[in-house]
Chain A
């Protein structure tokens, strides 16, 4: 049976993650909490809006209502990478070669490791950012589609158009697909080789959490009373195929996190419950029996034996599968 080390914090957890082996919890109030031989904390933002981990997993990148972009390492040391006082930093993404992208309003700014910046303007507000797995290519969602830009190369943007408001965006691990979540309870995907559209709809609510399986053959999503897992192994992606529905309960799935090595997904629900389900066969195990608030963030450690989780009400913790 898994054991849970609870961590009771006061506030909405935006990100639960691991830096190296150290679990970190970033709260909306701008405080950061980590467990390294005892609980530690620091206030790094006046209001934290977004967080992600760098590609090597050595630091946490955060953006806030204070306009700052902050990098925090596993010892808790933090460095301000950029400061746009007065602007909300709505999105942040980590890329290869230690690049960081963030957005404020209609601008996307890519910061390379050497500190050089390149800026891209959209016609509408940027709602989501993601780097392609190779090369400094950034995807930005906006109204009516996704824009793809190369950072540091003079090249026109590639527009992936689809009518409606797009929020989050994610590349498949092989770089062949871009998938966005929409205001309209659906996902939309594009195959980059030929721009072919993929509509993934039928969700009862907005999709706020997306996670690729270890080898990129499955895409897990929230937004339904089960984790909806789309097959991407065929050449047409999920087109014409039914998704798996794992961990079906009378409660909305609010967060999904695929295991780093095995075909298993951790599923977090609105009541704070966390299950693990294997795919495609759908065997389930309970990792956490409910809590105070909806699960808002989850991340496995690199070995896949610990799961850090955070909730909207601040009852966070670590689930350990080895104990």
Chain B
């Protein structure tokens, strides 16, 4: 059947209890967008919409082979996705809602590690909802809240009506300090254009970093946000988020390491990224990069989750683009100096 070869996009919704996941889910299901969604939830709970395709599943973490954190998958997702994909004509996309305490890594890894799931679906994006009022407390008392932000492609800073402008900026800085590459949106009652959370192609090597033409530029002192900077400037025209220093409320254990270098030698870069992710994989939650290779006219994109890394040529460098290699690691206990030194040693 032709549908089977057109992979179904999967959006993962994470967020602590009370952050607004159910509100967003109800909007996705009720708005008139002409698309049909299958939804996998942990509990039917408060989903107020009558939808035939809401499937309840117990989160089941399966460790593969050696008990390594990088080799965990969600067994229930494998089973439910297999069941859903036997009748692919019923829906256009899948949304997975996780519990507040869920680790997003096994969810995401399922879509890369299980052959059957990988063949029939594609992970589109991980969306994290954050309660603007309670974020500081969450970051203090929960490693999961931090992981969810670190893992996200899109962060909705929700319930903005409950805090003032200064606090919102602090929250954004805290989020940005954990995850410099996520798109941040301010929302009330999870009110957001669904185009901003669905069909993002965040894991699609051809699309991933084209959504953000200024990937990692926001870290750069010279960068001035232009009209095509599609990030958290809806209300934030002062661009406080450019500051590197983590906000005071950021008790987080997660850090990000953003690196830049000139064109690299492929025969140095590939062994380096392999070795780095093999050794530091358990500490690396996400990595993303745009690599310029020496004597190569195409941009090379890499991305990874723990030890899983994939990469591909994306497109030709444009004449006016600076041929520069940029990569960001998000994780715990990362050795900034060593990463910088070894990354720069890959230069041509």
Binding site for B on A (CB under 8 A): 11-12, 14, 28-29, 47, 49, 65, 86-88, 90, 105-106, 124-125, 127, 143, 163-165, 183-184, 205-206, 292-293, 312-314
Contact = CB atoms under 8 A, between A and B. Distances in A.
A124 B87 contact: no
B1 A28 contact: no
Contact of B65 (A47, A184, A313): A184
A184 B64 contact: yes
23 contacts: A11-B86, A11-B87, A28-B87, A47-B83, A47-B87, A65-B55, A65-B83, A86-B56, A88-B80, A88-B83, A90-B79, A105-B58, A125-B58, A125-B60, A127-B75, A127-B79, A164-B62, A165-B62, A183-B73, A183-B78, A293-B1, A312-B1, A312-B86
Contacts of B44: 86
Contact of A88 (B55, B75, B78, B86): B55
Contacts of A88: 55, 80, 83
Which one of A125, A206, A312 has the highest number of Cβ atoms from chain B below 10 Å of its Cβ?
A125
A11 B75 CA distance: 25
Interface string B103-133: 0000000000011100000000000000000
A29 to B, nearest CB: 6
A31 to B, nearest CB: 11
A49 B83 contact: yes
B245 interface: no
Nearest to B113: A183
Main secondary structure of the interface of A (DSSP, over half): loop
A238 to B, nearest CB: 21
B4 A312 contact: yes
Contacts of A49: 83
Given A124-B60, A125-B60, A312-B1, A29 B75 contact: no
Given A184-B65, A312-B4, A313-B4, 17 more contacts: A11-B86, A11-B87, A65-B55, A86-B56, A88-B83, A125-B58, A127-B75, A143-B60, A143-B75, A164-B64, A164-B65, A183-B62, A205-B115, A293-B4, A312-B86, A313-B1, A314-B1
Given A143-B60, A184-B65, A205-B115, A125 B76 contact: yes
A292 B3 CA distance: 13
Q: Which 7 A-B residue pairs are closest in the complex by CB-CB distance?
A: A28-B86, A12-B86, A165-B62, A313-B1, A28-B87, A125-B60, A165-B75
Nearest to A12: B86
Contacts of B86: 11-12, 14, 28, 312
A14 B83 CA distance: 10
A76 B55 CA distance: 29
Nearest to B83: A49
A28 B64 CA distance: 29
Interface in B161-209: none
Interface in B87-106: 87
A65 B38 CA distance: 13
Nearest to B64: A184
Nearest to B66: A163
A92 to B, nearest CB: 14
A117 to B, nearest CB: 22
Nearest to B80: A88
Contacts of B56: 86-87
A125 B1 contact: no
A306 B125 CA distance: 48
Nearest to A204: B115
Interface in B49-84: 55-56, 58, 60, 62-65, 67, 73, 75-76, 78-80, 83
B125 to A, nearest CB: 25
B187 to A, nearest CB: 31
Contacts of A106: 58
A246 B250 CA distance: 60
A28 B86 CA distance: 6
Contacts of B78: 183
A143 B114 CA distance: 16
B79 A183 contact: no
B64 A183 contact: yes
Contacts of B58: 105-106, 125
B75 A12 contact: no
Contacts of A105: 58
B87 A29 contact: yes
A14 to B, nearest CB: 7
B107 to A, nearest CB: 16
A248 B72 CA distance: 32
Contacts of B75: 125, 127, 143, 165, 183
B79 to A, nearest CB: 7
Contacts of A314: 1
B65 to A, nearest CB: 6
Nearest to B75: A165
B292 to A, nearest CB: 36
A2 B170 CA distance: 74
A206 B87 contact: no
Nearest to A165: B62
A62 B248 CA distance: 59
A189 to B, nearest CB: 18
Nearest to B54: A86
A105 B64 CA distance: 21
Contacts of A292: 1
A143 B87 contact: no
A293 B1 CA distance: 7
Contacts of A165: 62, 64, 75
A206 B64 CA distance: 13
Which one of B1, B63, B73, B80 has the highest number of Cβ atoms from chain A below 10 Å of its Cβ?
B1
